């Protein structure tokens, strides 16, 4: 019998964990020869436990950068549980993502309701918290 219920629930263990600085570094260039990921390693390195945001106008290549990140992480760090969350994207973009990245893709396309968008996002966050609470490294790439 478990005395502390939060220790038995991986999500609660994750949510009650102590925040630490992002480390070690995720070296994207190890999994790719693309200049995009090499530039990211030099200019905006990513660390385990880090949150990041790419803000740019439509058509500027955000989705391409996210795909490059997924491909590099999937190749260089196969132990990381990799997820892609696509919200309010065109169905064709969802299909392209599923075909081109080694991530488990969760999507709610532009023809779905906002309630569905929120439900898909919440479900993936629950999965990721569960995985992290069990001690796995998890990366979620979000495109919306």
Distance CA 69, CA 103 (A): 10
CATH code at position 9: 3.40.50.300
What distance in Å separates the CA atoms of residue 67 and residue 96, rounded to the nearest whole number? Answer: 10
Q: Which of 4, 7, 3, 1 is nearest to 134 (CA)?
A: 7
Q: Are 30 and 76 in contact (CB under 8 A)?
A: yes
Number of independent structural domains in the chain:
1
- Higher-confidence residue of 3 and 49: namely 49
pTM (2 d.p.): 0.87
Range of the domain at 77: 5-143
pLDDT value, residue 2? 47
Please, what is the end-to-end C-alpha distance for the chain in angstroms?
Answer: 43
- Are the CB atoms for 37 and 80 separated by under 8 Å? no
Tell me the per-residue pLDDT of 49-106, one tens digit each, with 9 for 90 and over: 898 888 888 889 999 999 999 999 999 999 999 999 999 999 999 999 999 999 999 9
CB 133 within 8 A of CB 76: no
Confidence of residue 6 (pLDDT cuts 50, 70, 90): low
């Amino acid at each position: 019998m478990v005395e502390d219920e939060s220790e038995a629930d991986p999500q609660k263990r994750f949510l009650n964990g102590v925040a630490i600085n992002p480390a070690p570094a995720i070296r994207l260039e190890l999994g790719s020869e693309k200049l995009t990921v090499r530039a990211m390693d030099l200019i905006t390195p990513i660390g385990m436990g880090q949150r990041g945001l790419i803000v740019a106008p439509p058509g500027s290549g955000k989705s391409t950068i996210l795909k490059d990140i997924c491909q590099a992480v999937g190749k260089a760090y196969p132990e990381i549980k990799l997820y892609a969350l696509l919200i309010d994207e065109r169905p064709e973009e969802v299909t392209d993502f599923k075909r081109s990245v080694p991530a488990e893709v969760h999507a709610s396309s532009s023809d779905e309701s906002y309630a569905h968008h929120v439900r898909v996002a919440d479900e993936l966050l629950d999965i990721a918290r569960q995985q992290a609470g069990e001690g796995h490294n998890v990366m979620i790439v979000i495109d919306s």
